[in-house]
Structures are given as structure tokens and as C-alpha cells.
């Protein structure tokens, strides 16, 4: 497929070829949803903790005798219905981590990239990494490109000056292509890629990195 290249002033420069298996597939919404849920679950610390009736402080003696008082039967001051008693069925520290096969994770990334390409929210920009580390420079470039909502700026390699400059912009986040993830791609309204980032995405998730179909391959006669 063809992707239009812009400069930092918003002018069209040329078109480049991009791999269809990375930027032009039919997005798999189900896999994309599973990858999003898994990533959000993996962010959870899972350290919420409460004390049960066997862990709180208090006497173990029976509060009052079982019969003869005309009142309800009570066994322990540490029961959950008493003030200061233990919590019934409260949370305990545990892991919320969800694991996905590598094939599904890669398919989710390709689906997210293809969704941006199909929706016209993917921009390829030349000279994106040639920044002076100033926030106003990156902000002016995004404004020239018509970016007025949440934007994910992706470079081929780590660009510390661009990352530092974009850190002060509320609607922008910059990261290298190897750190691309489903949550950032889905949450971003605009995806801004450098030319190096396009080639890096093709190298990471295209070509030989796509799992071949199972079964026997019919040879051409």
C-alpha cells in the first residue's frame, strides 16, 4: 500500500510503499480486544489486601452464652458483622496477569496499525527526529500536521530529544517502534510515524515474523 510522506511544515513530499501484511490487513477486532484487556490487566499491581476474621485482633471467647438471654446467637467478636471484625471475602494479593501467544500479540499490533492506515489517521513525517529538544518545536510541527487530539509519535530508534520535548505536551507521547503497544495505539487518535519507524515496523512484525498457515502447502505444478 501507499503512504503519503509529509514534512514538519505539513507539506506533501512523496509516497512510499508500505507492507500490506503490516499496514493493510483486515483488522481482527477480537484479537485486538483481547490484547488490550491483557495489557491493562498486566498493569495491575494486585496488592490489595484485607484481614479475615482469623487475622484481626480480638478475643476468641464466646461473647455470651448460647441460650437463656433471649438475644441472638453470637460466637466471636471478630466476626465480619461486628465493628472491628474481619472482612468477609475481601481481596488478597494475587496476580492479574494474562498471557497471550506471540502470534496473537503480533496480529493485534498489525491490526491496530492497519486500523489507523485505513481510517486515514496515520501520518508519515520526514525529519521528525531532527528536533532541538524544544517542546515548542514539536508542538508547532504537530499543529502544522493538523494534530489537535491525542497523538502517538513513533520513531525508528530511541530519540531522547524528541521524547523529552513531547513529554511536556498533554496530547502527545513519543516512543520508539520497538516499544509500540496495543493500548497506546488504540488510545491515540493520530499515529505519527517517521520513515524509519515504518521500516522498523515492517522488520518487526512483517515478512518472516508472520506465522505461516498450518497444514500442507500445495506446490505449484
pLDDT tens-digit series, residues 67-109: 999 999 999 999 999 999 999 999 999 999 999 999 999 999 9
Q: In 10 A of CB 164, how many CB atoms?
A: 15
Helices (H), the chain: 20-23, 29-42, 102-119, 135-144, 160-166, 182-187, 195-205
Smallest CA-to-CA distance from 49 within 108, 92, 10, 85 is with 92
CA atoms of 176 and 160, how far apart (whole Å): 10
Q: Is residue 57 scored above 90 in pLDDT?
A: yes
Q: What is the torsion angle, in degrees rounded to the nearest 10, for the CA atoms of residue 211, residue 206, residue 175 and residue 154?
A: -150
**Can you read off the three cell numbers belonging to residue 121?**
489517521
pLDDT tens-digit series, residues 121-155: 999 998 887 677 788 888 898 999 999 899 999 99
3-state SS assignment for residue 193? strand
pLDDT tens-digit series, residues 176-204: 999 999 999 999 999 999 999 999 999 99
CATH architecture, range 2-43+98-209: 3-Layer(aba) Sandwich (3.40)
> Which residues are CB-contacts of 51 (< 8 A; sequence separation ≥ 6)?
86, 87, 90
pTM (two decimals):
0.82
CA atoms of 32 and 106, how far apart (whole Å): 10
| Domain range list for the chain | 2-43+98-209, 50-90
Amino acid at each position: 500500500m501507499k503512504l503519503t510522506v509529509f514534512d514538519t511544515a505539513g507539506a506533501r513530499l512523496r509516497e512510499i510503499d508500505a507492507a500490506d501484511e503490516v499496514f493493510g490487513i483486515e483488522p481482527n477486532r477480537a484479537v485486538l480486544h483481547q490484547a488490550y484487556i491483557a495489557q491493562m490487566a498486566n498493569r495491575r499491581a494486585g496488592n490489595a489486601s484485607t484481614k479475615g476474621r482469623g487475622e484481626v485482633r480480638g478475643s476468641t471467647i464466646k461473647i455470651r452464652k448460647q441460650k437463656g438471654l433471649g438475644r441472638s446467637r453470637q460466637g466471636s467478636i471478630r466476626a465480619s458483622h461486628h465493628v472491628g471484625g474481619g472482612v468477609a471475602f475481601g481481596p488478597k494479593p494475587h496476580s492479574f496477569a494474562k498471557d497471550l501467544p506471540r502470534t496473537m500479540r503480533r496480529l493485534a499490533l498489525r491490526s491496530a496499525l492497519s486500523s489507523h492506515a485505513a481510517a486515514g489517521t496515520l501520518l508519515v513525517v520526514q525529519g521528525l527526529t531532527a528536533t532541538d529538544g524544544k517542546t515548542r518545536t514539536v508542538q508547532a510541527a504537530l499543529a502544522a500536521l493538523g494534530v489537535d487530539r491525542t497523538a502517538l509519535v513513533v520513531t525508528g530508534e530511541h530519540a531522547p530529544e524528541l521524547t523529552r520535548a513531547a513529554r511536556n505536551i498533554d496530547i502527545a507521547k513519543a516512543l520508539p517502534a520497538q516499544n509500540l503497544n496495543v493500548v497506546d495505539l488504540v488510545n491515540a487518535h493520530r499515529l505519527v510515524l517517521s520513515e524509519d519507524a515504518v521500516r522498523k515496523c515492517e522488520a518487526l512484525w512483517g515478512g518472516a515474523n508472520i506465522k505461516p498457515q498450518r497444514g500442507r502447502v500445495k506446490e505449484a505444478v
